[in-house]
Every structure is written in C-alpha cells, then in structure tokens.
Amino acid sequence: MSGPTNAEAATLFREIADLLDVLGEKFKPEAYRRAARSIESLTEDLGKVAARNELRSIPGVGDAIEEKIRELLATGHIAYHDRLTHEVPPGLLEILRLPGLGPKTARRFWVELGVEGPAELGAAIDAGRLDGVKGFGAKKIEQMRAALAPAPAGVSGARRPLEEAYPIARAILRALREHAPVQEAEIAGSFRRGRETVGDLDVLVTSEAPEAVFDVFSKLPQVREVRLRGGTKETVVLTNGLQVDLRVVEPDAFGAALQYFTGSKDHNVRLRSLARDRGLKVNEYGVFRGDDRVAGRTEEEVYAALGLAWIPPELREDRGEIDLAAARKVPRLVEERDLTGDLHVHLASDAKERDVERVLDAARARGVASVGFVIAGVGADGARIRFSDDARARLAQRKAGDPRIERAIELTPGADPKPFASERPDYWIVRAGTSPPSPSVPGFVEGTRLLAHLSVPEEGPGDGLRAWLEAVHAGAIAVEVGPGRDRLDSRGASLARSLGVPLAIPLGLGGSEDDPTLAVALAFTRRAGAERNDVANARGPAATAAKTARPRRSA
C-alpha cells in the first residue's frame, strides 16, 4: 500500500497553479508553486510528515494546502484539482508550456477562439483565424508556429542533470574568458546553487563592450540559435536544446547581479522583504538607500549591507539560511581543499603501472594523502574487475612521497564476496539496489569496513533509502555522494547526515579536466549542509583509518 509520492504531489500542485493562472488568479498560483517546490525538496515522504502532524512546518504550506495534502494522502486525489481540470480544458496547460506563450494568451485563445489545445491552435493558425486579431502580428504568429513544431531528435528543453551541464558550462566560461573582452565571468542560477538539475545556464560577465561579448558568444560552436539580444542580455539555445542566458553588467554591480541571478527565487524574495524592512532596496544593480547604492561590487558587500553574513549559494533556498546568516551561524561547509583522500579510484582492467602512477601523480598534485584503488570485484555491468599484476606490483612498492594506498573490492547486489576474500582488502565497496533494501549486504562480515553506493529513487528519498542507510550504518566508512544512478543526491545526503552516516566525496582522480564528478559531489554534499566532520574523506587519513566497524554478521 503506497500513497502518492512527493513528486506526484508536487506535480498536482503545479497543475493547480497553472490552471489558476489561466483563470486569471493573481497570487494563488505562486503560493501553490511555492508549496510544490518545498514538497519536492523534502527528505522524507509526505505521509510521514503528515503522521507527525508537521505539514504546516513545510514552507509555503498553510491551512488550505495542508488540508489538500491530507485529502490526497487519504483518497489519492484532490477535489479542487478535479474541479479545476473540469473547468479548464487540459490542452490549455500544454499551450501554457510553449515558449513565449503565457496564461493571458492561453486564456484568450480559449475564450475568444474556442481553442483548447496545441493541435487546435495549429489548425487555427493554418486557417488564418489569428490574422488581424489584436495583439497577433506576423512575427508572433511565426513564433507560435515554430513553438508548435516538434523538437528535433536529441534536442530537449527539459531540465537536465547537473553533471551533463557541467562540461558545457566550463567550455562556455573558458571560451568567454579567452576570446571575449570580459573581466569577470561566472555561471549563476541553479547551476551555481548545485541543484541536481538545471533548466538553463545563467552566464554573468563584466565588460566595457557588451556587443563584442555577444558577438563571440553567438558564434560559439555549441550555439544553434540566438533567441533574443538586447543591450545587456542575450539568450541562445545550444544544439542540445539547453538555453543559455548571458548578461553583461558593470563591475560595480557584479556582486549584486551574481547574488540576484543565483537565486533561488524564494531566497531572493525573503532577502528583498528583509531589505524593505530596513528601508533598503535590493535589485540586480545593488543595494540602495534611496538613490544611493550602498553595496554591489561583491556578494559579501550585498549581504553585509543587509546585516547578514555571506551565504554559500548551495544553501540559498529559503530553508532557514537567512536567519542563520543574521545570527552569524552559517555553517562552514566542506570545501574542496578539505578533501584528503579518494576512496574510490577505478582503473581499466588492462591498466599498467604507468596508469597507477598517473593517479598517484594527480593525488600528489592535489595534496591528497590517501588513495583507495578498486583492485577487484564485480562492476555495475556485472563484469569482473581485476587489477593487472603490473598495476598491483606498483601498489605494493610504496615509494617515498606516495600517498597512503588502500585496496578495495567492489561488489554489486547479489554478488558472492567469497572468491575475493583472499584479497584481504582494506574495505569493501557495496553497490546497493534501490528500495526495498536487501538485508543481506554482500561483504557484511566480521570487522568489514564498507563504502556504500546508494541511489535516491527518482521520486525522492523514502523509507527504502532510510532503511538502507540504517542497515549500512554500523559497518560504513561512508556513503558516496555524487552524480549518477548509484550515489546520493543532496536530499539523500541530507537524510544520511541526519542519521549520522558519514558521507564520501569522490575526487575523480585521474579523470579529465571537465570531469564533473568532484564538482557535482561537492555541490550535493554542501547542499546537504555538510561540514568537514560529516565527510569521511575530509577528516584526514588518520581519522578515516581509525574508524573501525562494529562487528556484525550478515543477516
């Protein structure tokens, strides 16, 4: 018996918001969207929160929405939603999602033309029914025609994983810094906040020559089309469908713009009302008292002008971080320079001594004190992993200047650990399935140390993940955070942290320059509010080595 997932609940509330939009409601839609965002970022099932009578503690959930959540949990639907979908043709929601078309236009199509969906809209355009209608010129009609055309294969405007956007973002920044007349260049938006997915990229630069910057930007090889271009802003769409906004600001406003465009929306709304209370105004150009700009060059300045400590982008979600900043109690989140070891380095099965050397060089260059190699086991695809004798020999050498070397065995669920026992590894890496957890974790033998792979189900962390985390806890060195299907995202990391399970951040040692592993893992871990002591490979090799597992038998 499983109720609606958090993701399903959020989708329902978003639909209510869209429907209310079309009906011309003013503030309710935003209220429902706010609740939807909060529900999505929960680290446990709505049902659990409801059972504890704590729904009202979810930001954006008041009397009315609490009642609707309870109704949804009890009956599987929301009568209000049913009523609205009955009132408004569902096809209008699809029209609403077309770029350049909003609630006002969708409503006009419906009321004035009787158009109730994208197909009818297309037919109306083809039949010339929009010609001469007030507000619809030739360009607007052409724009709609384009929006209605099916997207080419492989091109999608959907949100995509952070790790997919990462190399693209790096390449854009690199190109602008090298070839355009810019001083500063950063990516803002949800990318900078380290969200699991990004809908677009917000690039921010300072420059005396915006036109020259736009010229370079428009001609990047990844750019498919320029969607709009003004004096301070240009929007393009890449060949893969990702939208990128580039904004040029003056240096004195860079911090304010970075703050403003990093968001999140909820964080900024809260910041602005705080400013209003103090007789100040915040926008992307600075913090103003009357016409005087009192801050703007750096983010620190902006927050300080509002009486706040600087807040790391990963925490800017209006989940209490502003109160912490006011009280000077913002946590010192784990940083890249805190990382002292990599617990999980894979090499190809035909890897030679020089490949090991390359990883050890990377470790030394980074100042990393310990490296754990996967020397044998069963990989994600079921294939046997075995370190070559040549590579093993290098591990055994222990040259002066080497980081401490550890040897790990990696296993998939159901794989038999016995054939690998003679390897006497320093620890086992266990790859878990999704929920429900199996109690028989391979490798759970006396004194075993574990590094666990756990994935967060798409609908969010639920009881299954919690049970898994509790199951591995006793023997765990840590649970890995990072990109991909078998590591924790920020919500999973947050749940693990609340249960006292240490986290591990993979460094991607020996990977390419644009390898997103470390950056993404670090962002997720920071979004979970983790400090250095929450991270196993940030506490120094001594601390990691000293952590011994409680003896435990496999069930």
Partner DNA sequence: GCCGTTTTCGGCCCGACTGTTTTCAGTCG
Q: Beta 503-504 vs 476-480: how paired, if at all?
A: parallel
Nearer to DNA, 256 or 451 (CB): 256
Nearer to DNA, 26 or 398 (CB): 26
Hey, which residues does 19 pair with through a beta bridge? none
- Considering only 42, 46, 65, 236, the residue that binds DNA (CB under 7 A) is 65
Helix, strand or coil, per DSSP, at residue 415: coil
Shortest separation between residue 116's beta carbon and DNA, angstroms: 16
Q: Report CA 44 to chain centroid distance, whole Å.
A: 17
Shortest separation between residue 235's beta carbon and DNA, angstroms: 8
Tell me the one-letter amino acid at 463: D
Nearer to DNA, 40 or 284 (CB): 284
- Considering only 228, 365, 400, 546, the residue that binds DNA (CB under 7 A) is 228
Count of C-beta atoms within a 10 Å radius of residue 274: 17
Q: Which stretch binds DNA (CB under 7 A): 277-285, 390-398, 439-447, 524-532?
A: 277-285
Residue 27 in the binding site for DNA (CB under 7 A): yes
Residue 93: phi, psi to the nearest 5?
Answer: -65, -35
Q: Beta 286-289 vs 292-295: how paired, if at all?
A: antiparallel
Nearer to DNA, 100 or 152 (CB): 100
Residue 284 in the binding site for DNA (CB under 7 A): yes
Return d(Cα 276, Cα 271) in angstroms, integer: 9
Tell me the one-letter amino acid at 368: V
Shortest separation between residue 179's beta carbon and DNA, angstroms: 21
Return d(Cα 526, Cα 282) in angstroms, integer: 26
Shortest separation between residue 281's beta carbon and DNA, angstroms: 6
Residue 212 in the binding site for DNA (CB under 7 A): no
Count of C-beta atoms within a 10 Å radius of residue 165: 26
Structure tokens that stand for 148 in this block: 């209605």
Residue 273 in the binding site for DNA (CB under 7 A): yes
Residue 31 in the binding site for DNA (CB under 7 A): yes
Mask: binding to DNA, 116-155, rule CB under 7 A, as x and -?
------------------xxxxxxxx-x------------
Nearer to DNA, 30 or 300 (CB): 30
Return d(Cα 95, Cα 373) in angstroms, integer: 52
Residue 26 in the binding site for DNA (CB under 7 A): yes
Q: Beta 185-187 vs 200-206: how paired, if at all?
A: antiparallel
- Considering only 104, 177, 219, 485, the residue that binds DNA (CB under 7 A) is 104
- Considering only 49, 61, 78, 237, the residue that binds DNA (CB under 7 A) is 61
Q: For the chain, what percentages of helix, strand and coil (3-state, to nearest 5) are there?
A: 45, 15, 40
Nearer to DNA, 277 or 513 (CB): 277
- Considering only 10, 106, 360, 456, the residue that binds DNA (CB under 7 A) is 106
Return d(Cα 454, Cα 434) in angstroms, integer: 7
Nearer to DNA, 275 or 333 (CB): 275
Residue 365: phi, psi to the nearest 5?
Answer: -60, -30
Q: Does residue 244 contact residue 218 with C-beta atoms inside 8 Å?
A: no
Residue 202 in the binding site for DNA (CB under 7 A): yes
Helix, strand or coil, per DSSP, at residue 263: coil
Hey, which residues does 302 pair with through a beta bridge? none
Residue 503: phi, psi to the nearest 5?
Answer: -105, 155
- Considering only 5, 10, 15, 32, the residue that binds DNA (CB under 7 A) is 32
- Considering only 10, 35, 347, 479, the residue that binds DNA (CB under 7 A) is 35
- Considering only 51, 52, 54, 62, the residue that binds DNA (CB under 7 A) is 62
Place of tokens 């810094």: 177
Longest dimension (CA), the chain: 82
Per CB under 7 A, contacts with DNA among 232-251 are 232-233, 243, 245
What residues line the site for DNA (CB under 7 A)? 26-28, 30-32, 34-35, 56, 59-66, 80, 99-106, 134-141, 143, 189, 200, 202, 228-233, 243, 245, 261, 265, 268-269, 272-273, 276-277, 281, 283-285
